[in-house]
Amino acid sequence: MHVGPMRWDKIMIINTGGRTDTVRYYTEWLLRRFEEGYVLVRNPMFPNKVTRYELTPDKVDAVVFCSKDYEPILPRIHEITDRFPTYFQYTITGYGPDVEPNVPSIEHSMETLIRLSETVGRQRVSWRYDPVLYTKNYSLQTHARTFDRMAGVLSPYVDRCIFSYVELYRKLNSNMPEIIPFTAEDRVQIAKCLGGIAREHGLYLQTCGDDDDLEKYGIHTNSCTTLEILGAANGLKFRNLKHRGMRKGCHCIEWHDIGAYDTCIAGCRYCYANKDHARAFENFKLHDPSSPMLLGNLRSTDELHQGSQKTMLAKGQEPRRAQQQTLDL
């Protein structure tokens, strides 16, 4: 095993849920990684390259979560929130088991979101209603009814709501062929509908991964993870940095994801992170909660490198954060 040069002088943003639902299916592992203070992440493009990230308060600016079920981690979430600035994205779409086979019901999910909000504070929780898609079972009218009902319940408990139009990745042709592609008019009608409902409930609604100008419908064009959002949620000030985004149409701040693709067993048919749902179940069997990486263990042929962790905090924020963590503990 080759070990690359060590770099201990930098900090950054950690994301736990972009590649898989770590919170729901790998709860014990996730909590253990923060307890032990580091994680190993295998490069999805070059599997023999492994990066180590430090998971300690002096090396991490903020931890961003994204999940469809926070119930497994709720009793112990304070182990992370007591030590780190955090932000939580909760995806509740309202699709049935024909689209999301292993996702909790709408009612159960909303109850869990409320408990999460009451635990960590509404300013740290956003509700994701995405992706919006059409099939013969899910029309504009269906989305209108579902979104209105959910907005009425969730508005007092979230910082904002984020929606996006489904992206027709090539693999959706086989994974979900019944999707009806949107026309330009469809996109406008969806924006009018959701924007109007959000306004009625006093809900801040924004897009993600889309550059369409929807301000006329009361929808803000923004990104789901910006330094402004993270700073406001945690009482922090970040440097004025350009958000380069993670992909085309994205203007989020860069982060490092500690998960792995093809490991989420929720079975959502529109999922971009799984190439094959059967493979995800097979990979799930390789998980060892005591391993420093999500799947398997470090191999003798792996190249281990220390990840660059560069702080984005404004000057003078580090001591303030350390003081706040001392008070919380």
Q: How confident is the model at residue 248 (pLDDT cuts 50, 70, 90)?
A: low
Rounded Cα distance between 7 and 85, Å, is 22
pLDDT at 225: 82
- Residues 64-113 have pLDDT tens digits of 999 999 999 999 999 999 999 999 999 999 899 999 999 999 999 999 99
Strand order in the sheet with 12-15: 220-221, 205-207, 160-165, 125-132, 86-91, 60-67, 12-15, 256-257
Q: Whole-model pTM above 0.85?
A: yes
Is 253's pLDDT higher than 80?
Answer: no
Q: Residues 218-231: pLDDT tens digits?
A: 998 777 788 889 99
pLDDT score of 313:
86
Determine the pLDDT at residue 38. Answer: 98
Q: Please, what's the b/e burial string for 158-185 (b: 16 or more CB within 10 A of its CB; e: otherwise)?
A: bbbbbbbbbeeeeebeebbeebeebeee
